[in-house]
Structure 1
Amino acid sequence: MSQLLPPNSTTFERNVTEVAAQNCALPVEIKSLASIDEAPDSFLSFLAWQYSVDSWDTNWQPSLQRQLIKKSFRQHQIKGTRTAVREVLAQFGYQCIFQEWFETNPVGTPGTFTLELELNGLELTEATYAEVNRLVKDAKPASRHLTNLVINVQPVCIPRVAVGTHGAETVTIYVE
């Protein structure tokens, strides 16, 4: 790096150049930071900001974070549609039925919609409920307002069957 300095550079300038050269050494290749698949896990939040990911939590698994970054462009293409609501909830394992005011019987209040959510055996906590509301608010059409959220919780049951047989013979021993 000091070869780039002019011959009349001062000692201070040479020292600054040497220290700066050591500080610029990165543990990863800089081009890998722009790749969603190759970026270090600690850098994913910066990529999420760059790609304008709407839903983000640093506690999520890195694989889910990478998936959300990759799907961000698609989310922005369909944002404000019922498909956007379905897809954003599907990323977390939920299925939903989106019904607008004109599709209900009797016809509902104009500009409203109802949502029926299937948790598919996932646990429902207060945090889950808050997250669902936030995701729906981000993805829904801006001109629509949620009037009713129905959450269907289907317990996951593992049937247990036990079969037992018992056989016995009675043996009598006579002692003389």
Structure 2
Amino acid sequence: MSSLLPPNSTSTEHALDDATARLGSVASPLRDLWNPHTCPEPFLPWLAWAYSVDTWSDAWSTEQKRQVLAASYSVHRSKGTRYALQQALNSLGYSVEVIEWFEDAPKAEPYTFRLVATINQTPMASLSLYRSLIDVANATKNVRSHLTSVALEGNSQAYLYVGALFTVGETITLAAEAP
């Protein structure tokens, strides 16, 4: 592309014109940057900031970060409801059951709830998991409700192989003769 600078332009203006002329050839995948599933991993915290994600942790796996970003719209749309709380907690990749005070047996203190998270194939629960569940719940719940406890249940799958052998036959005893 030819320059549009006048003949009396300075060398700084020519250098700036040369530098900006190359910007058109730089790929700018804006659609990928605004999509939580295709955004490059280093840009996920910036996308979370743009989406106003309330709770974010660098310790989360890339898949957890993408799920939290994907669920952020539905969480913000219905924030303060049980549905939003359930969506936000499930976006972390765990099956979480919200038990409110009137569903508990025996009934708990009014306007309280507890969480029961099922963790599949995880060898051990960490303190960061507890903190993530508590932070997400406190950021998403309604103002009047209070979280009383978080319980973690482990769930493992294993395969059991059973075999049997049954034989029928005769016993033959061989004896060697001495010469």
Q: Which amino acid is the alignment partner of residue 29 of structure 1?
A: S
Q: Please, which runs of 5 or more residues in structure 2 have no aligned partner?
A: none
Q: Which amino acid is the alignment partner of residue 142 of structure 2?
A: P
Give the C-alpha shift of residue 30 in structure 1. Answer: 4.4
Q: Is the 8 A contact 1:102 1:110 kept in 2?
A: yes
**Structure 1 residues 59, 160: closer, same or farther in 2, change over 3 A?**
same
**Structure 1 residues 21, 170: closer, same or farther in 2, change over 3 A?**
farther
**Structure 1 residues 143, 2: closer, same or farther in 2, change over 3 A?**
farther
3-state SS in 2 of match to 1:172: coil
When normalised by structure 1's length, the TM-score is 0.75
**CA offset digits 1:148-172 (Å, max 9, x no partner):** 3333334x15243353648684441
Is the aligned partner of 1:172 residue 2:174? yes
Q: Is the 8 A contact 1:86 1:95 kept in 2?
A: no
Alpha-carbon distance in 2 for matches of 1:2, 1:85:
57
Q: Over aligned residue pairs, what C-alpha RMSD do you find?
A: 3.1
Q: Which amino acid is the alignment partner of residue 146 of structure 2?
A: H
Alpha-carbon distance in 1 for matches of 2:14, 2:163:
84
Alpha-carbon distance in 2 for matches of 1:132, 1:81:
16
3-state SS in 2 of match to 1:153: strand
Give the number of aligned pairs.
Answer: 174
Q: Is the 8 A contact 1:100 1:112 kept in 2?
A: yes
When normalised by structure 2's length, the TM-score is 0.74
**CA offset digits 1:84-141 (Å, max 9, x no partner):** 2222222233333323334445543333223333334433122222222112112221
3-state SS in 2 of match to 1:48: helix
Alpha-carbon distance in 1 for matches of 2:45, 2:33:
12
Q: Please, which runs of 5 or more residues in structure 1 have no aligned partner?
A: none
The within-5 A match list for 1:81-160 is 81-104=81-104, 106-122=106-122, 123-154=124-155, 156-160=156-160
Cross-structure match for 2:28: 29
Cross-structure match for 1:66: 66
Deviates more, 1:127-136 or 1:39-48: 39-48
Cross-structure match for 1:43: 43
**CA offset digits 1:19-77 (Å, max 9, x no partner):** 3445x467532434544144333222222211122333345444443333222111101
Cross-structure match for 2:80: 80
Alpha-carbon distance in 1 for matches of 2:14, 2:2:
6
